[in-house]
Amino acid sequence: MRWRSGCASVTDAGPCAPLDRARALDLNTPHPISKRMDTPKLMIGCPHCGATNRVPAERAGESPHCGKCGQPLLAGHPLELSDDNFDAVVGAAKLPVLVDFWAPWCGPCRAMAPAFAQAAQQLDGQALLVKVNSDDNPALSQRFGIRSIPTLVKLQQGREVRRQSGALPAGAIVALAR
């Protein structure tokens, strides 16, 4: 059987032959580009030029760079997540994820914030450090059974492997993440 393709009229085995007719006519199969457009995106502001960048959630742990100035977007800074984007980021992360459950009114949380940021710099490319405001994201707090803050939860491939409550110095946070 001969089919006409964009390059020439060829037989079934030719390099330019279309896929079988059933697959070629299947309109229910999503186009590969539309699948990429449906993936959740994180809006990350560049600390260097201020441009807002859309980063696919599954690539957040791959050291994304700014589309405008080319500088690293995270550059060792913790990523702030919410109920809406947590599962997309953590589920797609290939690196270990260390989650800091905190609240703005919590004194120990505010005291630990610089140590958490310092640990994020030390672990850049080795682990993804994220912060979740437990007041603004009660569903995540409930799901992880957060009873006190600050609480650090280490996730490996989306599953909890370790937990630590209370404020920690940067060295202890790095040790927990590794």
We report the CATH number of the domain holding residue 130 as 3.40.30.10
Which residue among the candidates 7, 46, 66, 109 is catalytic per the annotation?
109
| Tally of CA atoms within 13 A in the half-sphere of 105 that contains its CB | 4
Cα 129 from Cα 63, distance rounded (Å): 12
- The mean-pLDDT minimum among 3-12, 81-90, 94-103, 165-174 falls in 3-12
Q: Where are the alpha helices (DSSP H) in the chain?
A: 21-25, 32-38, 86-92, 107-122, 138-143, 170-177
Contacts of residue 12, defined as CB under 8 A and 6 or more positions apart, other chains included, come to 1, 3
Cα 154 from Cα 134, distance rounded (Å): 16
Do the domain assignments include residue 41?
yes
- Tell me what percent of the residues of the chain surpass a pLDDT of 70: 74
Give the pLDDT band (50/70/90) at residue 111. very high
Do the domain assignments include residue 9?
no
16 is annotated as an active-site residue: no
Residue-level pLDDT at 169: 94
Do the domain assignments include residue 1?
no
Residue 4 has pLDDT above 90, yes or no: no
- The mean-pLDDT minimum among 1-5, 29-33, 68-72, 104-108 falls in 1-5
Do the domain assignments include residue 2?
no
Do the domain assignments include residue 51?
yes
Do the domain assignments include residue 68?
yes
- The mean-pLDDT minimum among 3-7, 27-31, 156-160 falls in 3-7
Contacts of residue 154, defined as CB under 8 A and 6 or more positions apart, other chains included, come to 96, 97, 98, 99, 160, 161, 162, 163, 176, 177
C-alpha distances (whole Å) from 1 to each of 6, 11, 13, 14, 104 are 16, 6, 10, 11, 70
For residue 20, give the DSSP letter. P
Do the domain assignments include residue 11?
no
Residue 166, phi then psi, degrees to nearest 5: 100, 160
Tell me the residue range of the domain where 142 lies: 16-177
Of 24, 18, 122, 120, nearest to 78 (Cα)? 120
- The mean-pLDDT minimum among 78-87, 89-98, 118-127, 163-172 falls in 89-98
Domain total for the chain? Answer: 1
Residue 56 has pLDDT above 50, yes or no: yes
Do the domain assignments include residue 3?
no
Per-residue pLDDT of 120-172, as tens digits, reads 989 887 888 999 999 999 999 999 999 999 999 999 988 999 999 999 999 99
For residue 7, give the DSSP letter. S
The tokens describing 90, both together, are: 């953590």
Residue-level pLDDT at 1: 46
Find the angle CA(114)-CA(117)-CA(122) to the nearest 5 degrees: 125
46 is annotated as an active-site residue: no
